[in-house]
Structure 1
Amino acid sequence: MLYKETVTKDMWELLQRLMKDKMLKDFILVGGTALALKLGHRLSVDIDLFTTRDFDSSALIHHLQKEYEATNEIVFENTIMTYINDIKVDLLAHKYPVIAMDKISENIRMISNDDIGAMKLHAIFQSGERLKDFVDMYFLLEEKPLQSYLNSYQIKYNGNPYLSARSLIYFDGIRKEYDVSMVHGKEHKWKRMQERLKKAVLNPNLKFGNSAEKKVVLKNKGKGVRR
């Protein structure tokens, strides 16, 4: 079951169209939207589609303009950043090994949580600016201990797991203008999230239980992370 309430109706419909598009058959949904659909922890507003193969950026953006009226395009080799119906859509060639694919659910091809955890650790290690990456790691720790994601990070990026773990508790680089809208009933206090991340780094094999009920109940607007 996917938590479709974590995305807007327009975004869900666009995602369905993109997944059925033969030009995009090698692309899979990754990142926070994939995780939100699976865990139901926060709202997500953009679509990240990755492939491990090279693709013709010029041909693909022409297709997106024609079929989806894509606008505000930024196009590089193996990279497209655009908007479709005011929804941010990024398509990238991410040439790192895929640890596992999730079973296709409701026509959505998604990468595994092991991959997402590795990618979140990689993003935090590289910049550590986005609050949502830390929030996502907090909830990923309800699924598996940190050590599991560190192992995946090492496999996927051949990175140093010790340095990656340390970056998980460096909070000074988070940009304050970034906010995260949480699903009602889910943990939203940043201090508690920090405490869990610190405990996980001190003991990477530590297992955490769910912070709240699995049932998803949305208000008209998600509650932001309180800092």
Structure 2
Amino acid sequence: MIYGNILGKNQIRILEKLKNLPAGTYLAGGTALALQLGHRTSFDFDFYTGSHFEPTILLEKIKNAFQKVSVERVVKDTLLLNVDGVGFSLFFYPYKLIGRLIPYKNIKVASVEDICAMKMVAISMRGKRRDFVDVYYLLKKYSLAQLMKFTLKKYPAYQPMIVLKGLLYFEDAEDEDLSRGIKIFDPDFSWKEAKRVITREVEEYQQVLLNPI
């Protein structure tokens, strides 16, 4: 199921006009996850492709299709733009997909399994508050063991303890507002409760690792 209501009218208009993206391009990141969980709004379009691409060619196509395009970065296999007020990025990303792509409008959306794995690795590097919010809602659907399974399936060489350590490091997120006006639809959401649940799940999972049956 896709929760199109998490997008604003301008975002929907942009998706409907996006065409001629490189072969194999898919949407991931917070917006792609929110489209499938329906838990919050999200403002940027983070695209990835497993194929190398020439960003200047795509940039010209986007400029021809949209009125206001400002360029943030253009290098080989990387394109960062602001398109009619919406952040747009496309990166070459060589990691395999572990789930099926989901068609939506003119694009393909990465599976929850793939987004989860990418999100867990991002948190292990430096978690933003919205990343922890996403994990909290993922834990309503999956166990932490399942989330770790997705992560290790996508990134076999990744160390589980690095991910677990990142999940318990809230300091950087503490001083951060729920950035850029993101709205969480759950009226009962509590940042304190989110931290409590994540901490409990990590501690229980660590006990399983230390005391396997």
- With the shorter chain as reference, the TM-score category is 0.7 to 0.9
Deviations 1:88-128 (A, max 9, x none): 11111111111112432455411111111111111011122
Q: CA deviation at 1:26?
A: 2.2
Q: CA 1:112–1:204 in structure 2 vs 1: closer, same or farther (change >3 Å)?
A: farther
Q: Deviations over 1:129-167 (max 9, x none)?
A: x11111101111111111112122122222001220121
- Checking the alignment, whether the CA contact within 8 Å between 1:31 and 1:116 is kept in structure 2 is yes
TM-score (norm 1): 0.82
Identify the residue that residue 183 of structure 2 maps to in structure 1: 182
For 1:72-91, what aligned pairs fall within 5 Å after superposition?
72-91=71-90
Distance in 1 between residues matched to 2:92 and 2:188, nearest whole Å: 33
Task: Work out the CA distance in 2 between the residues paired with 1:107 and 1:187.
Answer: 34
The amino acid that maps onto 1:97 is: K
* C-alpha deviation, 1:178, in angstroms: 4.1
Q: Matched residues in 1 for 2:23 and 2:16: separation? A: 12
Q: Which moved more, 1:62-71 or 1:1-10?
A: 62-71
| 5+ residue gaps, structure 2 | 207-213
* Corresponding residue of 1:119: 118
So what's the TM-score if we normalise by structure 2? 0.87
Alpha-carbon spacing, 1:50–1:178, altered in 2? closer, same or farther (3 Å) = farther
CA RMSD of superposed structures (Å) = 1.9
CA apart distance, 1:3: 1.5
Q: Note the 1:72-221 alignment, pairs <5 A.
A: 72-128=71-127, 130-157=128-155, 158-174=157-173, 176-180=175-179, 181-204=182-205
Preserved contact between residue 114 and residue 148 of structure 1 (Cα < 8 Å): no
SS in structure 2 of the partner of residue 196 of structure 1: helix
Describe the shift of the 1:106–1:61 C-alpha distance in structure 2 as closer, same or farther (beyond 3 A). closer
1:155-204 residue CA offsets vs partner (Å, 9 max, x unmatched)? 22220012201210111122634415333335421000001101111223
Task: Note if contact 2:49-2:93 (Cα within 8 Å) is conserved in structure 1.
Answer: yes
How many pairs align?
Answer: 202
Aligned-pair CA distance for 1:72 = 2.9
Instruction: Output the amino acid matched with 2:41.
Output: L
Relative to its length, the structure with more helix (as a share) is 2
Q: In structure 2, how many angstroms separate the alpha carbons of the residues matched to 1:142 and 1:203?
A: 16
The answer on 1:17 being equivalent to 2:39 is: no
Give the 3 Å change call, closer, same or farther, for CA 89–100 of structure 1 in structure 2.
same
Q: Please state if 1:52 is matched with 2:61.
A: no
